[in-house]
Amino acid sequence: MKLSALALATLFPAASPLLCGDITYSADVAPILYKHCATCHHPDDIAPMALLTYQQTRPWAAAIREAVLTRQMPPWKADPRYGKWSNDWSLSDQEIATIKGWVDQGAREGDPQRSPAPPVFSTDWRIGKPDVVISIPPHSLTADGPDEYEYFTVPTNFTEDKWVVAAELRPGNRKIVHHAHVFVSAPAKPKPANAKKEEPADPQSAYADWLRVHEGKLSWIRYEAPVIDDGCIVDDNSYWPGDKPRDENFGSGGLISSYLPGRGPDVYPQGTARKIPAGSNIGFQIHYSKATKKPEMDTTSVGLIFAKEPPQQVAKRVDLSNYFFRIPAGDPNVEVTECHTFKQDMYLTSLTPHMHLRGKDARFDATYPDGRKETLLLVPH
Ligand code: HEC
């Protein structure tokens, strides 16, 4: 997929014929909810209530009206002026008007015969039958305490390099898996038998190691670290100060797949694949939510499909991270940047802004060799 800016017409339909007619759940609203809401709003998934039948939906009519008018639901934060996205499930103005009209007219059911069949949420793999399934050991979660970040490392036992064309990360228990990532980590290098003592640390990487502190499951940056709000001043391609460029095939971090509620599996374009070197480990990073307030169990897995032949193009993830900024107390709008220069032509297939609770807005801009600038993605809130 090639990204390009596309102006979307967002004209409100001037005179919607629906608004004067009879809007019913069965004929008009169910198809919208099935398409835009049901992936999360079905039993045992992340949303608090299912929206698959009239009986389930009716009590929520007023809340649904409010949620869609304010565009809180479905969650989709990208500014529609930039880019066109294959996973954009936001509602059109027409669909919002239909839902509003339905509630305003009394949220009636209408003729159930006219409703399409509710979507079925199969537990089958969406990528088809995986060549390999790798799972974490069963993990139990206590009822109380804060949310948990857990890390699991599972050996692949691959005896040859593998090219992954599709990967699907499947939570074992969708009520508690808030989100998860799977990474490939290189096999540990065997120490030569005659190695006398540890290699003397090179001062640059010793400095990089010193900057990050690991405390149990928490990692943080030392207060003594330099403040680099504008990470574009030095074109260091997002490497950590002092870090060495990593293995070509890993990109930064070796991310193979992610699960977020409603997100689809990772299926690479024809002829494109990601490499998992022989002997690699698979690392799972899982955020467990304690929202159910009950003891829970989870066995999350990743399913992989391998290429039959070596790919024409290697897919990589590149992180543009800046960990070295400072937010002065009370400052509502601190800008932090990071840049990366591509040395060859590239196809971008996806972008993922990621800032947790402190993030205010995010933007990706491309600057072309001729100096032309294009905004690829803007998340204004
Ligand atoms: C990506 C998953 C996802 C999709 C898609 C989604 N929702 Fe939600 N929805 C949620 C989650 C999660 C919550 C709970 C939010 C919270 O607790 O803060 C929620 C909450 C709600 C609420 C508020 C419930 C309350 O307690 O007040 C309404 C109403 C709602 N959704 C309606 C919809 C409608 C209508 C659609 C489709 C047009 C939709 N949602 C699509 C995940 C989703």
Walk me through the domains of the chain, giving residue ranges and CATH numbers. Answer: 17-114 (no CATH), 132-189+201-341 (2.60.120.310)
Rounded CA separation 381/229 (Å): 20
Q: If 0-12 CB within 10 Å is exposed, 13-18 middle and 19+ buried, where does residue 361 land?
A: middle
Q: Has residue 46 got a pLDDT over 50? A: yes
CA of 64 to the centre of ligand 1 (A): 8
Binning pLDDT at 50, 70 and 90, where does residue 254 land? Answer: confident
Q: Is the CB of 102 under 6 A from ligand 1?
A: no
Which of 276, 274, 257, 275 is CA-nearest to residue 266?
A: 257
Query: Is residue 44 over pLDDT 60?
Result: yes
What's the rounded Cα separation, in Å, for the pair 255 and 291?
27
**CA–centroid distance, residue 66 to ligand 1 (Å):** 11
- Other Cβ atoms less than 10 A from the Cβ of 24: the count is 21
Query: What is the number of other CB atoms lying within 10 angstroms of the CB of residue 285?
Result: 15
DSSP string, 154-202: EE---SS-EEEEEEEEE-S-TTTEEEEEEEEEPPPPPPPTT--SPPPPP
Q: For residue 307, report the distance from its CA to the centre of ligand 1, in Å.
A: 37
Whether residue 74 has a cis bond before it, omega within 30° of 0: yes
Name the DSSP letter for residue 227. P
pLDDT in tens, 141-169: 999 888 888 999 999 999 999 999 999 99
* In the predicted structure, residue 20 carries a pLDDT above the cut 60: no
Query: Residue 15: is its pLDDT beyond 60?
Result: no
Q: What is the spatial distance between Cα 38 and Cα 49, in angstroms, rounded to a whole number?
A: 10
Centroid of chain to Cα 125: 18
Centre a 10 Å sphere on the Cβ of residue 293 and count the other Cβ atoms it contains: 8
How far apart are alpha carbons 356 and 112 in whole angstroms? 42
Q: What is the mean pLDDT of residues 168-188?
A: 88
State what percent of residues in the chain have pLDDT above 90. 54
Smallest CA-to-CA distance from 284 within 174, 169, 194, 365 is with: 169
Three-state SS at 26: helix
Report whether residue 57 contacts ligand 1, using a CB cutoff of 6 Å. Answer: no
> How far apart, in Å, are the Cα atoms of 48 and each of 91, 260, 335, 348?
20, 16, 35, 34
Band of pLDDT at residue 32, cut at 50, 70 and 90: very high
Q: Using the 8-state DSSP alphabet, how is residue 112 labeled?
A: G
Q: Using the mean position of ligand 1's atoms as its centre, give its distance from the Cα of residue 173 in Å.
A: 19
pLDDT 10s digits, 67-114: 999 999 999 999 999 999 988 999 999 999 999 999 999 999 999 999
Tens-place pLDDT, residues 219-228: 788 988 888 8
* Residue among 29, 73, 93 whose CB has most ligand 1 atoms within 8 A, to mutate: 73
Structure token digits, residue 243: 């870090």
| CA 12 remoteness from chain centre | 30
List the one residue out of 65, 156, 48 whose CA is nearest residue 105.
Answer: 65
Question: Is 48's C-beta closer than 6 angstroms to any atom of ligand 1?
Answer: yes
Residues 6+ apart with CB under 8 A from 191: none
Residue 14: its pLDDT value, please?
38
Residue 215: strand, helix, or coil? strand
Question: Which residue carries 């600057």 as its tokens?
Answer: 367
- Label residue 2 exposed, middle or buried (CB < 10 Å: 0-12, 13-18, 19+): exposed
Question: Using CA atoms, how far apart are residues 185 and 116, in angstroms rounded to an integer?
Answer: 46
Tell me, in angstroms, the distance from the centre of ligand 1 to residue 267's CA.
Answer: 26
